[in-house]
Amino acid sequence: MIETLDTPFLVPFDGSFEVRQSPTTPPANAPGKKKCNKELKKLVERMKELQRVLYAHDKYALLLIFQAMDAAGKDGTIRAVMSGVNPAGCQVYSFKVPTPKELDHDFLWRSALCLPERGRIGIFNRSYYEEVLVVRVHPEFLAGQKLPDSPALDSIWSERYESIRDHEKHLARSGTVILKFWLHVSKEEQRRRFLDRIEEPEKNWKFSTRDVEERRFWDDYMNAYEQALNATSRPWAPWYAVPADDKPYMRRTVAGIIVRALEKLPLEYPAVNEKVKSEFAAMKKLLAGSRS
């Protein structure tokens, strides 16, 4: 397991995280938009280099989980931060409403099928955490999950937290580095972004009336996030509550956390033994003497 990165946005492991104390805007001394974009460009280049070694080393996988309220900027952040990564070594999955087939399995099953192989980066745009966020806010969804017994709402969430912790610890033991990002947007900033989606024709496709309806449950969602992050932020699978009202700062922050995590891994290109090197020398000699 990797050493946890100590940043102001790391969700502590002792259950003391409070949403109301978690900022949605950058700190006063944060760099401006121009500098954030410049730093992001450098971080993207560094990530590009590290991904090559991760792929060749082939002993670790990197799983990035993004959760957020609507309009927090998950898609744009994933696109910007991963813009330099070789698509052959990266995969992105977005988890929507479970299908009938998925509902015939436990809540971790569908995401387990999408886990990254060693050497690759996997990105979950939403994840199994929806089962302790959206479903907790709307427990009526449990009725369609074909659970063997009628779920007890006073225990099902703690049971799911336990399953998630066990699942993530197993993955970490097996070489998967897990970084989880909650992009923390304010209710007011969400309102402004929804208005942009309505007023700008090229953004109309992003807007859904359900998004506005869900704002009625804002406090319930904040409580669900607080409970979930406290229950599942652990050294082997930390949560980072990243301010999301300022997109350039958010993207630069996320990229920095990912790069530092990769830099802490003992990555290296596979060594070539002496026997193979001698074979290389023979092949080089053969190729050098060949003109076709």
Residue 288 has a pLDDT of 84
- Per-residue model confidence (pLDDT) at position 292: 59
Dist. CA 283–CA 291, nearest whole Å: 14
Q: Which residues of the chain have pLDDT under 50?
A: 1-4
Whole-prediction pTM value? 0.93
Q: What is the pLDDT of residue 3?
A: 45
Architecture of domain 19-288: 3-Layer(aba) Sandwich (3.40)
Residues 171 and 255 sit within 8 Å (Cβ to Cβ): no
Give every CB contact of residue 204 below 8 A, 6+ residues apart in sequence: 197, 198
Mean pLDDT of all residues in the chain? 93
Identify the pLDDT of residue 291. 67
- Per-residue pLDDT tens digits for 40-71: 999 999 999 999 999 999 999 999 999 999 99
Whats the size of the chain, residue-wise? Answer: 292
The b-or-e profile of 237-275 (16+ CB within 10 A means b, else e) is: bbbbbbbbbbbbbbbbbbbbbbbbbbeebebeeeeeeee
Domain ranges of the chain: 19-288
